[in-house]
Structure 1
Amino acid sequence: MIFELVKKESKEHIFSRKGLGFLFVVSLLLSVMSFGFISVKELSLLDQPTVVMTAFRLLLGINILISMVFASTMVAGEKEKGTLESLLLTPLTKRKIIIGKLTAILVFWFVVTLISLPYFFVLSFGTNMFPTILFFLYIVGTALVIAFSSIALIFSTILASTKNAMILGILIFLITLIPMFLSTTMKKSGFAKRINDYSPVSASMKSMKDIFINKLGSSDILVGLIPVIVFLLLTVLLALMISKKVDFLRGE
């Protein structure tokens, strides 16, 4: 039964005109970026690890936002369209409904990764970085996409408005991005330091730099990814706990 729900969500959000449009945009951005790294003189001088990290950041950032847009509409949208009743009348428990919707987002992310693989293969050609790229795509990337999608799904569950759920979810994502726009000095104190220490996005970017640039070992990389793992577990657990709130508007 969960498979049928995943199939329904995939058809509505991924293989619909909107979803295919998002996939086209992702492909276009990757193509433009790859062409820029080859043809623009200043960009062509960058070393391959920097190029790969830049591509990964772009791909991950865009797809976290797209996944959060999908997640924001998955429960609140059902309420607004009046289709939640038929979903609740199925044999699926509310927790399984949330799991099914998160699985559909995972399907979207895997489709995106398949599209991105040829680009990363070309960008890393001649090096031994491709296996590491696969690790960051399918382990770290998947963890972040599911975690942030869980946040958007939580807001979609407890709020009656897809717009409000989307705004609040994306706001949290943007807060975790703050350290990326601050100088090294600013990250060493105050609120910026706290976000930098605990942000899963900062941890993933730092781990990528450690493995590609600083050449640290796997044990150091895994320790650096602890914030990502903790963030994933907390958000998914909270989403499953909030699943009991999947109900009609105003509890009707």
Structure 2
Amino acid sequence: MKHNDPARTVRPYILLLLVLMAFTAPAPPKKIKLYLIGDSTIAQKIKQTFPETGWGMPLGTFFDSTVVVDNRAQNGRSTRTFLAENRWQPIVDALQPDDYVLIQFGHNDEAKDKPDRYTSPEDYRRNLLKFVAETRAKKANPVLITPVTRRKFDKEGRIMETHVEYSAATAEVATAQKVPLIDLDRMSRNLLQQYGADGSKVLFLQLGPDEHPNYPQGRNDNTHFSELGARKMAQLVVYEMRAQKLPLAERIAKPLPKNATLTASPANSQPTTP
């Protein structure tokens, strides 16, 4: 008389269950690219200019492994020169559905004293419209960002707005085209106000003589960021993505502080709500 082996009887059912689970398990999120276009405030830097840091450099650290940051921003570029140098078309050609393009210009567009890069407000708007339309044509997602502030305080210690016309133009295009807008100009000014006129120096490329071998004469730069400054600006951008509930925010790797503008302030400053 033969006895059935219970293990042999159960084993086929286990195998069948595993096969069914393999077919019914949700597919992992597909990887998407996050393209950055803009100027030196966001761009990758070379080691010879360290500790100068563009805020696009630490941006990828805020997302999980399904987001690949492709930073195409370049020093000294305006919307006009970015297009004229054929830096935009390769991005358009590479865009895939659900990718993102973060667009932040303005610093060089508004430089009337530099005709090689200056772009009139009217042409600036047209160029932003082109970026938006061609991104959407590839079923990707444009996000407009107002130009990040420069460090400029008045005698009473109040932060001054340095990109009035071009920030307004960016916001106008965003409203007209129903594009998400990250008002980094406003947010970065609020951040600098909380650090104060002196305390905010740590966010920028402010170095004394012989403080760093790349800058033996020192550096007094109120436009470009230190490592800390770049990270804080990137944090503001990601914080606003979450606040606006952009789909990209679902891929943020770690929870952000409740109020990103109040974190990691210098020990000798007293943050206040502006």
Instruction: Give the TM-score normalised by the residue count of structure 2.
Output: 0.34
**Which has more helix, going by share of residues?**
1
TM-score after normalising by structure 1: 0.36
Query: Relative to total residues, which structure has the larger strand share, 1 or 2?
Result: 2
> Greater relative contact order: 1 or 2 (C-alpha under 8 angstroms, separation 6 or more)?
1
Structure label with greater radius of gyration: 2
